[in-house]
A and B are shown apart, each in its own frame.
Chain A
Amino acid sequence: MLSFFRFIARHTAYLLFLLYCGISLLLMQLQRKETIDAIRTKGLAVNASIAEQISYFNDLVNLREDNEHLLLQNAKLFSRVMSQETALRDARSLNAIAAKDAAPNGRFLVARIVDRRFSPTDNVLVINSGSNQGIVKDMAVLTPDGLVGRVTTVSGNYARVMPVINKDFKVSVVSDSTSTLGVLSWKDGNVDMAHLENVPASSRIKVGERLTTSDHSTFALRGIPVGRVAKISKGKLFSDIDVRLAVDFSSLSYVLVARAMPSGEKLDIMNGDEGGKVQEQQRK
């Protein structure tokens, strides 16, 4: 008996090896049995859940790249939609050919908002594109949802944007179906709402009408969505109109900057500087 135990003690490694090999071979034979199958199923569930977490992490790592790719694609599609909508509007008003030159050329720069100062009366955005990327002062900043603001200051790689929800911001807008013109501005601290000014009380503008930038704008091309009429209060001469803005400023992270701007000649005339350049051109 003692010699038996001595034998076992001396050859434990071999016995263990045989035991483990036996168990392994048994497990291989019982692969299809219910108990082993249940263990395998549980193992695969653990495997799948961990693999899903790993793939989720990989997705997170690639999210920024995917997001930028989607934004570029979105910008292209948005420019197409905008040109088509503008052309449609032009066709309706029998002015398509004349307006073609002013139609958006569909070229946008994608920029990320890197800083934002927000207070009830002041709101400024900083984007990560500047003069090196082709940004100049007074370019319109937008998202596929609508107008965000205008570029006010440009450095090499950054630009400051005055958003619609800034007390100094104004833009000329036109309503969709009744073609009512007005000037949109922001007065109070509500980030969803703006006011439409200079609309005569006799206007036929209705609640729910969509407002887009008009030809009268000094920085934005026409056709950029701005918001919808939310409430109309008729006064003696002018209506007091509340507008629900199209862009959700609380969740902005990327914006598009429209490279195309209204022609300088038009701006000169609008500003009353028709003397110099226009006359010179007529002479030519």
Chain B
Amino acid sequence: MFKKIFLSSISIVVLAFLQHFVFSNLVILGASPDILAVFIAFASVTIGQRTGTTFGFASGLIVGILSGNIGLSALIGTVEGFVAGFFHVSEESHPTLTKKRRMFYSASLTSIAIGNLLLALMNNPMALPLYYRIPSMVVIGTLMNIFLTVLMYQLALKKTMRD
């Protein structure tokens, strides 16, 4: 467990930098992929709600320090980690890989949608109207990140989840 938390902590730092310098620049129709949110959802599902919430807060702080928006990023990260934690799958119940995958997808979808909604409501640097921000950031952003979730699961997280 400690090894898992240690590796996840390092991954969170690396992914926070990647998110800020690479993925945040890939804006498609007003939304950008959020690799960090997907990973926080993964950490919450596999490790637990407390760790997920802490990871969310920490990663939000890092991204916030880099972007200059410390409080908001930390708040969104915390909320995402906490919400995803409700889908936590305990290893003691000996879950199947299919169940883990299903819970991970659900956690990712819910936490990202809520995170994007918070972001759309609380941050509006371009002074866009709400009827534009909600569809572009929440709907398109969530759809884009669902695609990213499947991709990340197939490429990297599946093996970790199986172990």
Q: Name A residues whose Cβ lies closer than 8 Å to a Cβ of B.
A: 12-13, 16-17, 20-21, 23-31, 36, 39-40, 42-44, 46-47, 50-51, 54
**SS of A interface (majority):** helix
Q: Can you give 13 contacting A-B residue pairs, CB < 8 Å?
A: A16-B50, A16-B53, A24-B75, A25-B75, A28-B75, A40-B65, A43-B64, A43-B67, A43-B70, A47-B20, A47-B66, A47-B67, A54-B21
Q: Measured between alpha carbons, how far is A246 from B135 in the docked complex, in Å?
A: 65
Q: Contacts A13-B82, A27-B70, A39-B70 hold; do A21 and B75 have CB atoms under 8 A apart? A: yes
Nearest CB in chain B: distance from A55 CB, A: 11
**SS of B interface (majority):** helix
Q: Contacts A13-B85, A54-B21 hold; do A43 and B68 have CB atoms under 8 A apart? A: yes
Point out the residues of chain A lying under 8 angstroms from B57, CB to CB.
20, 23-24
Q: Measured between alpha carbons, how far is A59 from B160 in the docked complex, in Å?
A: 37
Q: Which of B53, B66, B68 contacts A17 (CB 8 A)?
A: B53
CB <8 Å contact, A51 and B21: yes
Point out the residues of chain B lying under 8 angstroms from A26, CB to CB.
71
Q: Measured between alpha carbons, how far is A118 from B57 in the docked complex, in Å?
A: 62
Nearest CB in chain B: distance from A205 CB, A: 62
Closest to B52 in A: A13
Nearest CB in chain A: distance from B63 CB, A: 10
Q: Name B residues whose Cβ lies closer than 8 Å to a Cβ of A.
A: 17, 20-21, 48-50, 53-54, 56-57, 60, 64-68, 70-72, 74-75, 78-79, 82, 85
Point out the residues of chain A lying under 8 angstroms from B56, CB to CB.
20
Closest to B73 in A: A24
Nearest CB in chain A: distance from B56 CB, A: 8
Q: Which of B60, B66, B79 contacts A43 (CB 8 A)?
A: B66
Q: Which of B50, B74, B82 contacts A27 (CB 8 A)?
A: B74
CB <8 Å contact, B71 and A24: yes
CB <8 Å contact, A39 and B65: yes
Q: Which 6 A-B pairs have the closest CB atoms?
A: A28-B71, A27-B71, A43-B65, A24-B75, A20-B78, A24-B74
Closest to A50 in B: B21
